[in-house]
Structure 1
Amino acid sequence: MWILSSDGDFLRGTPSASLSPSTLVWGLLTLLVVGKRVWLKPGKQYLFGRVKKNGVHHAIDNVTISRQHLVIEVGQVKPGDGLHVHAKSRLKVTDQKTKCGTIIDGEPIKGLSKELSKDEHIIQIGKYPHPLRIKWHPVVLSFSLPSKTNDPLSQARSSLEELDIKTVVPYVVGKTTHVVQNKRNTSKGLQALINGRHNVQKSGGF
């Protein structure tokens, strides 16, 4: 998941209202999106500007910010990427031919677009004193399910893949962030405890 943060006062750390009401998904977002942080949902565009109108999602009250200043675009998750723990949704930033410009990781992109490939980026908008930070927070769910289950991840993948949440069967050391299980004291659940990861209960939603 791409998470946007800033020390400025224009962000509100609330999950997107367009999410399906999955208890697990809301729980994950509650852990990630606290304070001045916002989840950037795959397949969406976010317009930043000085005034909240004409499609502007986040208004920044600063004279060096243009009315329509910057667009952050998160690409759709590619089919099958929910099984690949290293895959990330595409991230692109476009300056809207602004007067004071935009700087990404020290590089000016006035009037240009730039694809972002690192796990963390710093974006300076105009001369606003609080830069934007975009950071990749991987969410990898390892499922502890009965071995006889036919394609155990199909239901989970159908609801979670489009959100860029990874679903796998094995516990991947250094990558798994949560173990989803029906009962306590499974081998994967114990491994999660050892590694300081989260154990969560499988919900009826998937």
Structure 2
Amino acid sequence: MRKPLPLLLAVPLALALGACEGDGPAPIVEEPTASATEEEPSPTEPPPDDPEDPEEPGPPEPPEEEPSPQSTADFGEPLGFTHAVGPDGEGDGDDGSGDDEDDDGEDDAEVVYTVDGVERPWASRVDFTVTVHVPDLGRTFSLAEMEVVCEAGPEIPIAQTEEPLYEVPEGTYSSRMWCEIPEDADRVRIVVMNGDDEAAFGGEL
């Protein structure tokens, strides 16, 4: 009967040879599960507001319209504009007399404009009178650059006159003027512009 001793010695030898043939089984890499991945924001969701970000610009503003006259009245109504009293048009200032009627030491007075005597001698023309009352300003008042226009249609003609006004002292001054207007116009607005003074007078024809 043969002894089983040599077979028992061969088993450890075979196991040792198998361990030397490789570095062992490759590690198992587990793929990240859906719960482990970071949730990305939906592209349809707006980003969170950042209080430090500047405000987004709003829609573009509409183009500016032509400025309206400072004051508007009917024909025959006066419109006044304040002007400083003094030789330089800056008020009397502090002359050391102790008279402080105004907080800033200046006196003001109103230059008054009126448009009346509106007539329509024929369909394509309107005549009118521009009157300017100049108070005691302590100096002359310039009317040399005064311009008058008539608004009664798509075109805005400049009024014509044979009685122009220039540098005037205290007093009341009138100038007869006229404009060419469309024959079908039933209203007209006459705008008087003199420096910073701009007044409009309107009414039916």
Name the TM-score, length of structure 1 as normaliser: 0.33
- Structure index of larger Rg: 2
Kindly indicate which of the two structures has a greater share of residues assigned to strand: 2
Name the TM-score, length of structure 2 as normaliser: 0.33
Kindly indicate which of the two structures has a greater share of residues assigned to helix: 1
